[in-house]
Chain A
Amino acid sequence: MTDNIETDVVIIGAGPVGLFAVFELGLLDIKCHLIDILPKVGGQCAELYPEKPIYDIPGFPMVTGQGLVDNLLAQIEPFHPTFHFNEMVESVEPIGTPEAPLFRVRTAEDGTTFTCKAIIIAAGGGSFQPKKPPMENIEAYEGTGVFYAVRHMQMFRDKRVLIVGGGDSALDWTVNLQPIVKRLTLLHRRDAFRAAPHTVEKMRALVAGGDMDLHLGQVTHLKGKAPVLEGVEIKKDDGSIVSVDCDVVLPFFGLTMKLGPIANWGLNLHENLIPVDTEKFETNVPGVFAIGDINTYPGKLKLILSGFHEGALAAQKVHRYVYPDKKLLFQYTTSSTSLQKKLGVTA
């Protein structure tokens, strides 16, 4: 039997907007758990552009993606949110009534369930998933000859392995798997690698020593009767075609965003976005809110600052679901001692 966690709110997505929602909910005494498919907080800010400067966050003439995430974490620290990483929400089941919503939320990986009174979807562009290169019939080999991640290195022991890509994942797995596989080949489109310099050096030393092969070019097709992979054909950058025999291909082409299971939760969708009202940012399902890049409404702008505003307004309505009998008094953090107590800034 897996665990069931009871909480006020489940926030799906731990990007900047999901993080700030913790703050707005926290001021209203609402507890939350955050679930994210990535192994860390920050969403796109941390995954796509941690080093890039952002210039349109109010009050910050310039802040990097990671800098913003770090500051948000510090800001919500008083509310002690619980994070669940590397997990994707698979299903959302309404078990209450429209007036008193209650939901059972289930994750895909380990099947943890949550019971909560409201759900805030702050999933940005959807869940990050490995990019599948457009190779013909690649699906037919997935799980046998094609893997987008390495879960157990031992699976590849004594196999002929072809790694495709030139980033950190490709290079890290090249040097990590090389000692245990039968033969390792790295394929990249150009002779430049976007990875830690010492890992690149290590790879080059292995190539120089004849302990692995490096090809520059692109896979043109996969060979072997599916699901058994026997090799690939590569078009090299000089235009010549070579054949590489291999049992396994590991394409590391980065991550992309997919809406994923959200499409199956009974929510209205418009071009992969979730329509909401602009008073409460609630979806067509009472108790389910959508904030940040994943929602849509007339005039919507996909800006981080819009997501912050949306979270603040959604929190007001969430309060009515969590504390139906309490009247909500609107207060400012500058003057309210009760808010300051919650933030731990006053005795």
Chain B
Amino acid sequence: MGVIHVTDRQGQRHTLECVEGWRVMEIIRDWGLPIEGVCGGACECATCHVFIAKDWVEKLDPATDEEEDQLDTVITHPTSRLSCQIIWTPDLDGLELTLAPANG
């Protein structure tokens, strides 16, 4: 068991308990935070876009080409990732991230 820390679009930080093997997008959605995840984790929509805290970027598996292609459809920061492409494991206990602004 472990947690992730998610800062929402109002700047409020939430600590969410995680389930191993779940996509980070699913964890955020399951706790009721406003993340869309329209395509359901298929890496097809970029509505689960998040900014990863700098210290954590290196600890994640790098983005695939497919994920980079989707990131092309949003305004990214240097630490942008799609949270549906990050599978939570105990190594990510304490992962810190911020929800990206919603697309219009």
A residues near B (Cβ < 8 Å) are 48-49, 52, 125, 131-135, 138-139, 165-167, 188-190, 192, 194, 218-219, 253-254, 256-257, 302
Contact = CB atoms under 8 A, between A and B. Distances in A.
Contact of B45 (A48, A166, A218, A302): A48
A192 B65 CA distance: 10
Interface string B71-90: 11111110000000000000
Contacts of B74: 131, 133-134, 253
Contacts, number: 58
B38 interface: yes
A142 B68 CA distance: 27
Contacts of B101: 134
Given A192-B68, A219-B75, A253-B74, A134 B104 contact: yes
B75 A134 contact: yes
Nearest to A239: B78
28 contacts: A48-B39, A48-B44, A48-B45, A49-B42, A49-B44, A52-B42, A125-B38, A131-B73, A131-B103, A133-B103, A133-B104, A134-B100, A134-B101, A134-B102, A138-B104, A165-B72, A165-B73, A167-B72, A167-B73, A188-B72, A189-B71, A189-B72, A190-B72, A192-B68, A194-B72, A218-B75, A253-B73, A256-B38
B47 interface: yes
Contacts of B69: 167, 194
Contacts of B102: 134
Interface of B, secondary structure class, is: loop
Interface residues of B, number: 22
B1 to A, nearest CB: 29
Interface in B31-67: 38-40, 42, 44-47
Given A125-B38, A134-B102, A256 B45 contact: yes
A42 to B, nearest CB: 14
A256 B39 CA distance: 10
Given A132-B104, A257-B38, A190 B68 contact: yes
B75 A133 contact: yes
Contacts of A189: 71-72, 76
Contacts of B68: 190, 192
B40 A166 contact: no
A308 B76 CA distance: 38
Q: Which 9 A-B pairs have the closest CB atoms?
A: A132-B104, A134-B101, A254-B73, A253-B73, A166-B72, A48-B44, A194-B69, A133-B75, A131-B103
Contacts of B44: 48-49
Contacts of A49: 42, 44
Most chain A C-beta atoms within 10 Å of own C-beta, residue among B47, B68, B69, B72: B72
Contacts of B103: 131-134, 253, 256
Nearest to B102: A134
A138 to B, nearest CB: 7
Contacts of A165: 72-73
A302 B71 CA distance: 25
B47, B77, B103: which has the most chain A beta carbons within 10 Å? B103
Nearest to B36: A256
A259 to B, nearest CB: 12
Contacts of A133: 74-75, 103-104
A218 B47 contact: no
A212 B45 CA distance: 30
A188 B71 CA distance: 11
A218 to B, nearest CB: 5
Contacts of B47: 256
B46 to A, nearest CB: 8
A132 B73 CA distance: 10
Contacts of B76: 189, 218
Contacts of B46: 254
A210 B102 CA distance: 36
